[in-house]
């Protein structure tokens, strides 16, 4: 299944059977809460999923957005109406940053039929599709979480990949270079990593670049399907967006879920600054 779906194609899917479960995972690092956006308007039938509460475990040494406990994630998805035999479409405001993390987490825990609405809520509205403030009443789903269905990296694995493969840092260039770190206590990047900001994966409308342009972008950075590739960011959210873009480009990749927030929790891990 292609990981993306656009607004016209989703509109057709919603008129057929089985209709996909719609999950609204709008989220903003510095606020306001995504639930506020959801209550003002969302796709008809969509259920809100809280990224911090439902798609990640409690913050700590494992990172600011570590993997959720399997049982907790399973329960959250069942409350949202997710079942194993029914397709799921997830979306956020526009650029799929948060939606990609939910896409990745569902895939990691074994759901095979998950797509991201390319362009998100704004793309849906711009296409003239309807929205509502009415919150749906959904029956519980039967999704069973089976962890380990996508590759992950820990700190040691990320360090090894930075030396022997290709480790992409999805953060903004100034954070990669260590010039500005607004969230984590230490600035810089994992030695050997290559900067590939997620904003380079999408156009001004928030939609992903075509697959051939993504392949070209990643090839220029040294990331192809001929080498082992991984990605990290600050806390494993925007790096999931990088994994999604790599998937569209046909390049398998592993996610360092703990990312920089986990890396700097260990003071013995080395830190690089500048371009290299």
**Whole-structure pTM value:** 0.97
With b for 16 or more beta-carbon neighbours within 10 A and e for fewer, the 63-82 pattern comes to bbbbbbebeebbbbbbebbb
Q: What are the φ and ψ backbone dihedral angles of 169, each rounded to 5 degrees?
A: -100, 115
Active-site residue (options: 55, 77, 229, 233): 233
Stretch (H or E) spanning 90: strand 88-91
Q: DSSP for 158-180, please give it.
A: HHHHHHHSEEEE-S-HHHHHTS-
pLDDT digits (tens, 9 = 90+) for 194-222: 999 999 999 999 999 999 999 999 999 99
pLDDT digits (tens, 9 = 90+) for 113-128: 999 999 999 999 999 9
pLDDT digits (tens, 9 = 90+) for 67-109: 999 999 999 999 999 999 999 999 999 999 999 999 999 999 9
How much is the pLDDT for 32?
Answer: 85
Tell me, yes or no, if 189 is annotated catalytic.
Answer: no
CA within 13 Å, CB half, 164: 6
pLDDT digits (tens, 9 = 90+) for 159-188: 999 999 999 999 999 999 999 999 999 999
Handedness of CA 252, 71, 89, 30 (dihedral sign): negative
Nearest to 51 by CA among 128, 103, 113: 103
The whole-chain average pLDDT of the chain stands at 97
């Amino acid at each position: 299944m292609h990981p993306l779906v656009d607004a016209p194609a989703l509109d057709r899917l919603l008129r057929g059977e089985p209709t996909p479960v719609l999950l609204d995972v709008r989220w903003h690092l510095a606020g306001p809460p995504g639930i506020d956006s959801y209550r003002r308007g969302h796709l008809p039938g969509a259920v809100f999923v809280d990224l911090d509460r439902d798609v990640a475990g409690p913050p700590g040494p494992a990172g600011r957005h570590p993997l959720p406990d399997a049982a907790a994630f399973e329960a959250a998805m069942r409350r949202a109406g997710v079942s194993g035999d029914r397709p799921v479409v997830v979306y956020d405001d526009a650029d799929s940053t948060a939606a990609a993390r939910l896409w990745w987490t569902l895939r990691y825990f074994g759901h095979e039929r998950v797509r991201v609405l390319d362009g998100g809520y704004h793309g849906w509205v711009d296409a003239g599709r309807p929205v509502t403030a009415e919150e749906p009443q959904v029956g519980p789903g039967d999704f069973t979480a089976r962890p380990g269905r996508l590759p992950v990296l820990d700190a040691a694995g990320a360090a090894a990949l930075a030396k022997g493969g290709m480790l992409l840092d999805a953060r903004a260039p100034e954070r990669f270079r260590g010039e500005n770190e607004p969230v984590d206590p230490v600035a810089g990047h994992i030695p050997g990593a290559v900067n590939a900001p997620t904003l380079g994966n999408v156009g001004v409308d928030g939609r992903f670049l075509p697959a051939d342009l993504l392949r070209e972008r990643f090839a220029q950075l040294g990331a192809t399907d001929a080498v082992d590739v991984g990605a990290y960011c600050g806390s494993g959210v925007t790096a999931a967006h990088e994994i999604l873009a790599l998937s569209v480009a046909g390049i398998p990749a592993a996610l360092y879920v703990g990312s920089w927030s986990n890396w700097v929790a260990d003071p013995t891990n080395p830190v690089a600054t500048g371009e290299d």
